[in-house]
Structure 1
Amino acid sequence: MLSFYKTVNNRIQQIPQAEDGCWISAISPTEEEVAFLVGDLGVDQEFVRAALDEEETSRIEKEEEQTLVIVDYPTQQTETENTILYSTMPMGIIITEKMVITVCLRENPVISEMANGLVKNVQTHLKTRFLLTCLLRIAVRYLQYLKQIDKISHYVEQQLHKSMRNKELIQLLGLEKSLVYFSTSLKSNEMTLEKVMRGRIIKLYEEDEDLLEDVLIEIRQAIEMCNIYSSILSGTMDAFASIISNNLNIVMKVLTCITIVMAVPTIVSSFYGMNVPNIPFPNFWFPIAVSIVLMLIVTVILIKKDMFH
């Protein structure tokens, strides 16, 4: 789907067709729409194809008068009930002489916020500033999702304190995996931003330097938060794994003690069940009494040894 936007009186508005100084949003474009971008607007076909590759990593590339910036933006998805996983997807920002084109495989909140006018100071004719504004929104989105991950992990930990279930452990494992995705993508985005900061590929203006520094600060803060949360979550997983293993050992110990106590009547009954003459007190009540006494003795010994805890 292709949508065309342009800043008019400091407000972004949707326009019917492409024109100079506009922003074109291409979300999961069809072959006809890709042909329009390449044939009618002269966009490099390799740039468009690269932006639509789900496995593409963050990078910056320039070809003649066109520049491609690919960044990873965060996404969230609900796999099962009460189970949320986070991952990243690539988004391409193509800067030409006359316009800016964003290309992505699916609709994302960053593009939606900018298209709906929820982001201030979006200037489609100022291509460098538009790029930096987009990168800043992506960095802010990372921080929002990281805070959500922290809240979810805290809630799951509270549930695990009440009962050890596989569901909560799988949720923690999914969050740990999400943090790995975030960490990898954020580091790639940071390297791309550092290349932008050098000003060799994209021309930087003085009024854009503060915005670029803000983007870098947000990205580095997100990287730091991601590393901290990942360390905490990894330690939590190890701790709960030890707790589960310890609980299993306690259960096995208790069951073993019960088995030992229950084995006493079997041993006594085995002696009196033998077809041997001259067994003392060959009465029905005697082996039962002996079994009860021995069971009590064994139970007291095991309790004193603290074997039932």
Structure 2
Amino acid sequence: MHGDSETGEEKRGAERTTGDERSGMINYYRTDEGVIQKLKDYDEGAWVQLTNPSPEECVEIADRFQMDVADVRAALDDEESSRISLEEGYTLILVDIPTAEIRNNRNSYQTIPLGILLREDVVITVCTEETAVLQTFVDQSMKEFSTKKRMRFVYQILYNSNIVYQSLLRTIDRKRKEIEERINGSTGDSDLFDLHELESNLVYFATSLRANSMVLDRLTRYGRLQQFPEDRDLLEDVIIENRQAIEMTGIYRDIINGTRELLSTVINNRLNDVMKILTSVTLILAIPTIVSGVYGMNVDDQWMPLAHVPHGFGIIILITLVISVLIAWLLHRKKML
């Protein structure tokens, strides 16, 4: 399930960047004898799934189930924060779920709102795009899933959201390891940008997970939501998985921060090594440059050493070469060359 969710999220992220806007749609699902079926219209015990609905579709659902249209459209606003709201006749649960996208020509992850509208006779989910969090239920990958057990269904959605978070967190850590493995080889500024992008993803995850934890905490205290003992056990599992995702996010942020500092240090050290070698080479080449400059002055040759000695040119070249080799040997001993 983890691998499927990761691939699906990345594919959906690529689709969004190509500008292929998916039209809004309403789907109706219901489980009968443990098998989920797609319905043509709403029936008792069904799950209503709104994916990027149009304003008209939001009004239709709001009127049909006697809800405030603003609550139906709440999840369509990317700036909406996670919250739970008890309204007359229904409950709005708004959480952030992870999704993939292409940002700065890189595979990245962010969070988007998922709205869950809960009534005694229906569960309505609203999201701006198809997501692995809900697709798991459509594909019948979730065990003991029933649209008629509404509170348990809600907790299973929240549980699956945390599982997808953890899956993408492991993907982020694998990408960090790939960059870390290249440190001894060819690394450059692009690796620093990649690490910064990964750290930005973790910032989004950390913020959303903390906000979701507040919603989960309130769910444990609201007596209006009818829950069975097994539902409360599932809620405890959701809280545990949420805490684990928060801890994983914090750990991976610290590791990425350390990897980025290591990469920056390695790049600086390599630059220092190059500058040191160039300085040493410049110093070695300065010797023949000085000698040739002195002997190239326009003065009387009677004052120039070795000017009238047989093989004087060769002697001067030999002396220059010996001095250059001696300087190179000293620099090598000092580990500067």
Q: TM-score range by the shorter chain?
A: over 0.9
Whole-angstrom CA distance in 2 between matches of 1:199 and 1:237: 44
- Alpha-carbon offset, residue 23 of structure 1: 0.9
- What do the CA deviations read for 1:138-160 (whole angstroms, capped 9, x no partner)? 11111111222222222221123
Q: Which amino acid aligns with 1:299?
A: A
In structure 2, give the amino acid aligned to 1:92.
Answer: G
In structure 2, the CA distance between the partners of 1:258 and 1:180, relative to structure 1 (3 Å rule), is: same
Give 3-state SS (helix, strand or coil) of 1:177's partner.
helix
Quote the residue 1:214 is aligned against.
237
SS in 1 for 2:27: strand
Letter in structure 1 aligned against 2:177: H
Listed as ranges, the gaps of 5+ residues in structure 1 are none
Whole-Å separation in 1 of the counterparts to 2:183 and 2:224: 50
**Structure 1, 255-264 or 96-105: larger mean CA deviation:** 96-105
Match of 2:76 in 1: 52
1:69/1:103 Cα in 2 relative to 1: closer, same or farther (>3 Å)?
same
The 10-residue stretch of structure 1 (85-94 or 284-293) with the greater mean CA deviation from structure 2: 284-293
Distance 1:21 1:167 in 2: 52
Residues 205 and 249, structure 2, Cα contact 8 Å, conserved in 1: yes
Q: Is 1:279 equivalent to 2:327 in the alignment?
A: no
User: Identity, % of aligned pairs?
Assistant: 38
SS at 1:271's partner residue?
A: helix
Q: Point out the more displaced range, 167-176 or 96-105.
A: 167-176
What is residue 143 of structure 1 aligned with on the other side?
A: 166
Q: Give SS of 2:116's match.
A: strand
The equivalent of 2:12 in structure 1 is: none
What SS class does the counterpart of residue 177 from structure 2 fall into?
helix
TM-score, scaled to structure 1: 0.93
Q: What is the CA-CA distance between 1:56 and the residue it aligns to?
A: 1.4
- On the 8 A contact 1:268/1:290 being kept in 2, the answer is no
Return the offset for 1:78.
Answer: 4.8
Is residue 99–residue 109 contact of structure 2 (8 Å, CA) maintained in 1?
A: yes
Shift of 1:51: 1.0
Offset, 1:88: 1.2
C-alpha separation between the residues in 1 aligned to 2:288 and 2:82?
Answer: 72
Residue 87 of structure 1: how far off its partner (Å): 1.5
SS at match of 2:183: helix
Displaced runs of 4+ in structure 1, greater than 4 A?
78-81
Determine if contact 1:272/1:287 at 8 Å carries over to the other structure: no
- Of 225, 250, 253, 2:248 maps to 225
Question: How far apart are the structure 2 equivalents of 1:27 and 1:255?
Answer: 61
Q: What is the match of residue 77 of structure 1?
A: 101
In the TM superposition, 1:1-309 aligns within 5 A as 1-78=25-102, 83-200=106-223, 202-277=225-300, 278-282=303-307, 283-308=312-337
CA distance, structure 1, for counterparts of residue 328 and residue 47 of structure 2: 81
Q: Give the match's secondary structure for 2:107.
A: strand
Aligned 8 A contact 2:94 2:113 in 1: yes
Check the 8 A contact 1:74/1:86 in 2, yes or no.
yes
Measured in 2, the distance between the counterparts of 1:189 and 1:161 equals 40
Amino acid at match of 1:173: H
Root mean square deviation, CA, Å: 1.8
- 1:59-110 per-position Cα deviation (integer Å, ceiling 9, x unaligned): 11122122111111111235588x4322111110011232111000011011
Partner in structure 1 of residue 5 of structure 2: none
